[in-house]
Structure formats: C-alpha cells, structure tokens
Amino acid sequence: MAAQAIRLFRKMDGLFAVYKPQGVHWKHVRDSIESNLLKGTLNSCPPPAPQLAVQFQLLSSGENSSSSKDLALSPTMVPTLADHPLVTGPQFHKVHVGVGHRLDAFSSGVLVLGVGKGNGVVKVCYILYDYTLEGEFGKATDNFTDTGRVIEKTTYNHVTQDKLERVLAMIQGANQKALITYSQVDLRTQEAYELAVRGLLYPLGKSPPILMGLRCIHFNPPHFSLEVQCVNETQKYLRKLIHEVGLELRTCAVCSGVRRTRDGPFKVENALTRQYWTADSIIQAIAHFHKTTLGYLTNHSGKGTQDKY
C-alpha cells in the first residue's frame, strides 16, 4: 500500500456527523460515504513504485563477436508486475462506517457516523436528542404522516395556541414522572436535588421513550411546529406524538416533517451536507470532535450513563 494512503486511512478514526436529507434511507447515506472514501480518496492515491527484478536477455549475433555456440546474456533491471494495480486490485477493499442512532427515510437531520475506533462507540452512546416536528391539524392518516392514507378529517377552528401549550405541558408533566421513575435516583438526596436543578436527570438502563422537553415554536393553523428533547425515542413515536396532541385537542393531526437538530454534542451546524461527504471534509470533522470522541471512549459503555454534554 502507498504510505500516503495508509496515513490518510489512519486519520479517519473517530466520530463525525452528516445531514441526512428526507426521503433517503440511512443505508444509502452510509454506502455513499463508504464509496466516496474508497474510490474518491483512498484508492486514488498513487500506487507505490514497482519493485525491480533482474532479467537476463540474450544478445543478438551482431553484439557478440565470439562463436555462435557461445551464449551471451546481458542482465537488465525491469519492473515486476506483481505489484501492478491491475494485478493486485484496489489498495483498500472495505472501509466500515458505523451508524449511530438511525433516521428513517421520512426523517431528516443529524446522523452520527463512526470510522475506526468510532465504530465501537457510535452505537453505545447514551445521549440526548433534539427534534423539530412539523404538524398539521385537520386530518388523520394510517401512518401518522401527511403522505399516508387519510382515514379521518375534522375541524380545528377551536384550537388555539394557549390550548396547545396546555396540552404540551400536560404531556411533559407525565414524562417527568416517568423520568423520575427510570432515573433510579433517590429524590431525598442532595445529589438528586442538584441533578434536577441542573436538568441532568436521565433514565438509567433501558426505558421507554421519554420527553425531556416539549414546547411550541410556531403556530399558524392548521400548521404548527414543536421542539422536542428526548431519549430512547424512535421517529415513529414522534409522529404518533403529533397524532396524540391532536386527539387531546379534540381534533386530528398528522406529522409533515421530523428533523433531528442535535445528536448529543453534534448539532445541525456541525453536520456535513452531501457535497462535503469527502475524505478531506470527514477528516477535518473527526479532528474537530477528537476530544469528544476520546470522552466517549472513556466515559461511555454499553450501559446507560449520564449525558455529559
């Protein structure tokens, strides 16, 4: 392998974030990045200089003044074909890119990936996620999205922003009770009080989806937007949340968009868009979050831990 390609490969060791567009499966994002790393950069490095071998060539009769019965051999150095790219094939055959908390095809936003040692960390991190949910009052579908089969239509003129915020406060209150239950912290201790004041209470181990924060950031009926902070969630759960908000308001609602804006320490402004899914940009992103990666390797394991960010 070329020394340049090896040095480049060693630099790709850590975590980075990309922006997954809506309508694209996360596997296509991963495969595109793996292909770009292999074809566009690692295997595009110049191959090493070919090794030379000694080859003896028979001199022509004009070059030899002795008897024709004598053989005259001339040693020459020629390159061997054993190391030729057409013989050995690509220098790198596989670059494994690990995927963290996945996004389904309907959703968009921050998707954290890992290369090298980052593969052992990206799937075990226990962190907080921020989402922006887009909703629409007035109809219900079979899959809670605006593209599903409509099964019901209702009026929504009675819905106001105050009513919506009261419903959100009720839902968040129920989730706060669940958070206390799954945090496994004695509420009578000073530690529990300090964690609660600082907003650092998190569920330990496995737990159902829990909303850490929920508020309305835009209201223009029939359209509205919610900002959600949660753990252990799925995008299907978030779409169903929009449906349940509609039911609490005596109407129906569907989800028209799910956008992840933060995945632990990785924010949407740190995510690489499609035109930057190259080795140079990925190496810069990994270097930028190198300390974060080291913190994950040190502080996170397969069990749930408190979010340090």
Whether the predicted pLDDT of 187 surpasses 90: no
Task: Name which residue leads in pLDDT, 10 or 248.
Answer: 248
Q: Whole domain around residue 286: which residue ranges?
A: 1-44+74-126+267-299
pLDDT at 122: 74
The answer to whether residues 154 and 251 belong to one domain is: yes
The answer to whether residues 39 and 188 belong to one domain is: no
Residue 15 lies in a domain: yes
The string over 55-83, giving b where at least 16 C-beta atoms fall within 10 Å of a residue's C-beta and e elsewhere, is eeeeeeeeeeeeeeeeeeeeeeeeeeeee
Residue 63 lies in a domain: no
Q: How far apart are CA 248 and CA 134, in angstroms?
A: 17
Q: Which of 83-92, 131-140, 143-152, 163-172 has the lowest mean pLDDT?
A: 83-92
Residue 285 lies in a domain: yes
Asked if 104 is an active-site residue, the reply is yes
Percent of the residues in the chain that have a pLDDT greater than 70, as a whole number? 79
Whether the predicted pLDDT of 151 surpasses 70: yes
Whether the predicted pLDDT of 113 surpasses 90: yes
Whether the predicted pLDDT of 299 surpasses 70: no
pLDDT at 25: 95
The answer to whether residues 94 and 174 belong to one domain is: no
The answer to whether residues 136 and 254 belong to one domain is: yes
Task: Name which residue leads in pLDDT, 46 or 207.
Answer: 207
C-alpha torsion angle, residues 220, 223, 229, 233 (rounded to 10): 170
Question: Following DSSP, what letter does each residue of 138-187 receive, concatenated?
Answer: SEEETTSBTTS-EEEE---TT--HHHHHHHHHHHHHHHHHHHHHHHT--T
The answer to whether residues 142 and 253 belong to one domain is: yes
Residue 64 lies in a domain: no
Q: Which of 50-54, 60-64, 154-158 has the lowest mean pLDDT?
A: 60-64
Mean pLDDT, the chain, rounded, equals 83
Strongest mean pLDDT among 88-102, 133-147, 266-280 = 133-147
Confidence of residue 243 (pLDDT cuts 50, 70, 90): very high
pLDDT at 303: 40
The answer to whether residues 84 and 194 belong to one domain is: no
Whether the predicted pLDDT of 307 surpasses 50: no
The answer to whether residues 80 and 199 belong to one domain is: no
pLDDT at 104: 95
Residue 81 lies in a domain: yes
Residue 157 lies in a domain: yes
The answer to whether residues 180 and 84 belong to one domain is: no
Q: Which of 77-81, 226-230, 289-293 has the lowest mean pLDDT?
A: 289-293
Residue 277 lies in a domain: yes
Residues 222-247 have a mean pLDDT of 96
Residues 6+ apart with CB under 8 A from 118: 13, 14, 15, 16, 98, 286, 293
- pTM of the entire structure? 0.79
Residues 15-22 have a mean pLDDT of 94
The count of structural domains within the chain is 2
The answer to whether residues 141 and 228 belong to one domain is: yes
pLDDT at 55: 79
Tokens 């974060």 sit on residue: 292
Instruction: Find the CATH number of the domain harbouring 173.
Output: 3.30.2350.10
The answer to whether residues 31 and 8 belong to one domain is: yes
The answer to whether residues 200 and 180 belong to one domain is: yes
The answer to whether residues 245 and 256 belong to one domain is: yes
pLDDT in tens, 259-283: 999 998 899 998 999 999 988 898 8
Whether the predicted pLDDT of 284 surpasses 80: yes
Residue 306 lies in a domain: no
Query: Of the listed 13, 70, 83, 104, which one is catalytic?
Result: 104
